[in-house]
Structure 1
């Protein structure tokens, strides 16, 4: 009896623990429709850089509101409503809005889905669908504007595509099933990975006018090479550097790094054994420069750059900032810890 009472009063304290909060916005909304986009436009760190440079940054004097509703009875469906408008009365920009109703077959796999968008602008009604079969690593997708004010381009009648993707290879094509001319504008891509090195090609012919398919014209091709380290899991650090020669005679160099660090914390709302918390720090840089003087592209800047960084302090706060040659922005996003959850962001532009 004495030994039992002694072990009860001399109980060892629990070991110290470090909190690992979830990623603030994972998976991002852009990842839910990645099967509709060529893999060339997502790899080489492009998806992570797009999220770093664009998410939670808004245009000056604009007000955007986004609401996402997901019923508890059927988590396979959700509704995202967006309202945006200008606060500058001189611009004359009217308030625009859209709503997207989405059905997803698997909660953990967003690659098989169907969504329907209703908008106040073109297209007024749009249907998108994608089916992916993991066993065969094969997928098919389609984008069809059902109601549109004016159908002037081939893609206004719809886009269909086929793709194959594995861990080290992605190949696919998209085409317009109802072309306006005898030629069918297409997009084709091929991306391969060998160890830490990735190489990709993409072919896009010009859509303006009646241009025959010309695979020998180098202006219709884009190529990229990238070197990446780390795991694809956002809970692990990663690093990626890439060079791309775009079809618009642009050389694009980009760098992205995702760091996972731990800091000590004393939180009265947590238990005593919580001694630290994991933070996520992201940094990205992109440089775009033109390699020749194409007179048809005089309106495009010869070169530009932008860099951005973000810091997620915990599961509720995210701080982001970016800087470019003409403007700089800072954004603070807050996510509530109760259900339903709300995200509120403030953006300052110089």
Structure 2
């Protein structure tokens, strides 16, 4: 009885929610893409600037499901179109059926894409061998109304990837000699620096002239800090000269902060919650004579930020010279999960405001609310954390900390671990 009366209260813990969309869906098909197009913070910036910002006066519905009996296959279906649908306007619909060899490794897979627009039916396949670092992939349009270019007959590629080096090339088997390769890339990581170059022949008509044309070359350098896990802060800064025509400077930062919980529905030992704040900036400036490159957009910039308050609410906003947008998303972590989003877009050129709506149903990513180890401490200490006699210091242990800074992610759900270390 005495032991029962003197029982110590449970140690204070902090709730660690999963990110809304981690890992990003684009990471599942990264082996079909040039590493140059995904590194230098480009994947993170794309998610920050695009996700949940629906087009004004449009709706977007995405269903992402996989069967319980066979987790190796899944289906993603999308339906999108204008809210005020007119007979002459077409509602876009497509579906993607995917088979994945390893549930935990998305790099060997095959999928079938069907759509009510071009291509009507397309098959993609990729095989990657981690021990050798070698991969091969292919994209084959099976049904098209009209085959106009060499790309309409299929694309094949080879790649090599390690922790510090990635290179590869894609080609079109039925292309002319001067159209080979379709593109090629070389990216290397030196400590926290990443440098890369990409060849994408689009300019030049004479044989042998395309690789001499600087408009077909792009180069970039980036500085990055962080592990890639949402529980670890990250920082990316990149400079790119795109096709010798545009200079692009980008910055992305993922911040992990912790705040007190003021929710009466939580237990007494729950003293805090982890929040995620993302900030991104991108500046594009033309560096060549605009008279000779009218197809390149004018110089512009955009700034975006997002705040995930808990596992259910996400607030995002972005500002640019042409438009400004604000998005709010609510997610229920049922099985499957439901995400409803609404976005407001202000077109600065015509002075009009439009609303967009999105609905997602998903069970591909099954991360759940996590209660942190009581030995955790603050990932980002603040003055409030260091102050004496405040509510943070409840019990005998300080607020949470994990060993994520040491690179130990084994105890975390798969969805909260960093992406694979293949460059």
* TM-score of the pair, normalised by structure 1: 0.95
Structure 2 CA distance for partners of 1:178 and 1:213, relative to 1, 3 Å: farther
Instruction: Tell me if the contact between 1:126 and 1:143 (Cα under 8 Å) persists in the aligned partners.
Output: yes
* Cα displacement string for residues 120-161 of structure 1 (whole angstroms, at most 9, x for unaligned residues): 000000000111111111111101100011111111111110
Q: 1:79 aligns with which of 71, 75, 78?
A: 75
Q: What secondary structure, in the 3-state scheme, does the structure 1 residue paired with 2:211 have? A: coil
Alignment of 1:1-350 (within 5 A): 5-89=1-85, 92-180=88-176, 183-206=179-202, 212=208, 214-247=210-243, 249-298=245-294, 300-350=296-346
Q: What secondary structure, in the 3-state scheme, does the structure 1 residue paired with 2:212 have? A: coil
Distance 1:203 1:238 in 2: 29
Q: What secondary structure, in the 3-state scheme, does the structure 2 residue paired with 1:342 have? A: strand
TM-aligned CA deviation for residue 268 of structure 1: 3.0
Distance 1:305 1:44 in 2: 17
Distance 2:138 2:295 in 1: 33
* Cα displacement string for residues 237-264 of structure 1 (whole angstroms, at most 9, x for unaligned residues): 0101110000050000000000000000
Q: What secondary structure, in the 3-state scheme, does the structure 2 residue paired with 1:30 have? A: helix
Question: How many residues in Structure 1 have an aligned counterpart in Structure 2?
Answer: 346
Unaligned runs of 5+ in 1: none
Distance 1:212 1:149 in 2: 32
TM-aligned CA deviation for residue 212 of structure 1: 4.0
TM-aligned CA deviation for residue 89 of structure 1: 4.9
Structure 2 CA distance for partners of 1:183 and 1:258, relative to 1, 3 Å: closer
**Which of the pair has the greater relative contact order for Cα pairs under 8 Å at 6+ separation?**
2
More strand by share: 1
TM-aligned CA deviation for residue 207 of structure 1: 6.8
Q: What secondary structure, in the 3-state scheme, does the structure 2 residue paired with 1:32 have? A: helix
TM-aligned CA deviation for residue 102 of structure 1: 0.6
* TM-score of the pair, normalised by structure 2: 0.79
